[in-house]
Structure 1
Amino acid sequence: MKIVCLADTHLKKFNGFPQILESQLTSADLIIHAGDWQTIDVYKALCSYGNVEGVYGNVDGDEIKKLVPEKKIIKIEGKRIGIVHGDGIGKTTEKRALESFMEGEVDLIIFGHSHIPYSRFSKRSLLFNPGSPTAKRKLPYYSFGIITIKNDQIETKHIYFS
């Protein structure tokens, strides 16, 4: 199972995805967006590649909020995956993401908001932030993630590009 994971696209006007992301989307079994789509066109474009799961973020409007929830849990290949944007007040984005799900409730938590790529275990869950493929802020590279679930194992990988 290959999952392409992205967040924080922040595209007010959609003109396509970076080529490196598009090349991965064509072979994805599932696409996960962890919020801040900013336009419904991003959702529609991702759906043209396959099945899309996602949540809304703090900059998403009603159009997106009608399509996706604030947080969700999906089950894939026997693994429970929590998806949340991670925005809020106080604490780090990682702590807010972790606290969105009860301890042991999920195997993997996918989140966004900070635009900072992140992959680390905390308690019993692997926390994964793919970064942003279109809004790197002060980081040197854009990024998105590839998650592979195989033989009861979860592997995460960041794809960095400029």
Structure 2
Amino acid sequence: MKIGIISDTHTKIKKAQRAIDTLVKEGAEFIVHAGDIVEVETLELLHNSGLKYIAVYGNNDAHLVSFHNRFNLVQEPYYFKVADTKFKLMHIPFYMSPDADVVIFGHTHKAAFEFTNNTLFLNPGEVCARNKPLSEWAMLEIKESEFIVTRYTKEKKKEIKKENFKYIRESNE
């Protein structure tokens, strides 16, 4: 299963649209937004993508609470299961314990992929391109014995670049 992961879109609707469109085109079956959504339009993009999705409130999203029932918004830390894989979703990396197979977070605006004690800690970076001259997001492909993370980056006036990382999962048996 392929899960698209974005975070820190802030006010950049066009960049959010590009990231979501790329993930859909690349075969995502589910999308996760790791917070700092900021704009209702970004929630509408997720909703209209045709895919199941989940989005966690970020520290800049309190004003979105009135849309809680309209969109699939959750509070952190939020646990869920997809493709027999347990996830923990949060925006601010306060709950970094390895109590899930995959821990997804945002907030730092820095892409990070770390595999420790059979847990993948994943921050897709910032879609908004606020702290650096590139927009970034990720795809997580879940296979029986491995996680494959594809990092997407897009610099202004350049093509989207992809970089793959593989992590071997140990059996829980």
Q: What is the CA–CA distance in structure 2 between the aligned matches of 1:41 and 1:30, rounded to whole Å?
A: 18
Q: What is the CA–CA distance in structure 2 between the aligned matches of 1:64 and 1:16, rounded to whole Å?
A: 23
Q: How far does residue 129 in structure 1 lie from its aligned partner after superposition?
A: 0.3
3-state DSSP of counterpart to 2:16? coil
Pairing 1:73–2:74 present: no
Q: How far does residue 110 in structure 1 lie from its aligned partner after superposition?
A: 0.5
Q: What is the CA–CA distance in structure 1 between the aligned matches of 2:80 and 2:88, rounded to whole Å?
A: 7
Q: How far does residue 19 in structure 1 lie from its aligned partner after superposition?
A: 3.4
TM-score, scaled to structure 1: 0.80
Q: How far does residue 160 in structure 1 lie from its aligned partner after superposition?
A: 1.1
Deviations 1:116-138 (A, max 9, x none): 0000023442110000122341x
Could you say which structure has the higher strand fraction? 2
Which residue is equivalent to 1:44?
A: 44
Higher relative contact order (CA 8 A, sep 6+): 1
Equivalent residue for 2:127, pick from 111, 133, 145 = 133
Q: What is the CA–CA distance in structure 2 between the aligned matches of 1:158 and 1:14, rounded to whole Å?
A: 20
Q: How far does residue 4 in structure 1 lie from its aligned partner after superposition?
A: 0.7
5+ residue gaps, structure 1, are 87-92
The letter of the residue matching 1:17 is A
Do 1:14 and 1:39's aligned partners in 2 also have CA atoms closer than 8 Å? yes
5+ residue gaps, structure 2, are 156-173
Coordinate RMSD, CA, aligned: 2.1
Q: How many positions carry a matched residue from both structures?
A: 148
Q: How far does residue 14 in structure 1 lie from its aligned partner after superposition?
A: 3.4
Percent of counterpart pairs with the same letter? 26
TM-score, scaled to structure 2: 0.76
